Amino acid sequence: MLAVVGVGFALAIPHYSWQLFAGLSAVFGIGFAFFYAAAAILMVDALPEEQQGIGSGMLGVTMSLGGAIGTAIMAAFQSANPVVAHIDAVGRSVVQPIPQVFADRAYVHTFWVMAAAVSVALVIAVIMKHGRKPSTAGVVVDQPNE
């Protein structure tokens, strides 16, 4: 989780090269692959059998909702930061945004907001109530005979 926070803050720093951006995106993608692989297993392991289907369904809905909210935030920042063309021709000056082309600051603002959201989630996860039995990740552990 700390690696994801670190990558989020690193992506928010402007003036990066495409190689750095590709490397950080790869780390971020690998982290999400691990999350998607482990989340369902941990959800099933944490719930009683009669609630596992509902829990897995709610996990899917929650992850889809997070992706939709992130996309909406990014679209809002992009719409607010278009690349503007300044055209001077025949004694006339025209300033007009170029459709579907966005400035770097739109992405930087989005990365800062996402890094802040992940930081809040990390704080919540750290202070969350603990004390339950650890997950076995689906492995059946032999119970001692009483």
Distance between CA 46 and CA 40 in Å, rounded? Answer: 10
Distance between CA 127 and CA 60 in Å, rounded? Answer: 24
What is the model's pLDDT at position 90?
A: 80
What is the model's pLDDT at position 96?
A: 82
What is the model's pLDDT at position 135?
A: 64
DSSP 67: H
What is the model's pLDDT at position 91?
A: 79
What is the model's pLDDT at position 112?
A: 84
What is the model's pLDDT at position 68?
A: 92
**Per-residue burial over 113-125, b = 16 or more CB atoms within 10 Å of its CB, e = otherwise:** bbbeebeeeeeee
Largest Cα–Cα distance in the chain? 94
What average pLDDT values come out for the chain (146 residues) when binned by 10 residues? 62 71 80 84 83 88 89 88 83 82 82 83 80 64 60
Distance between CA 28 and CA 35 in Å, rounded? Answer: 11
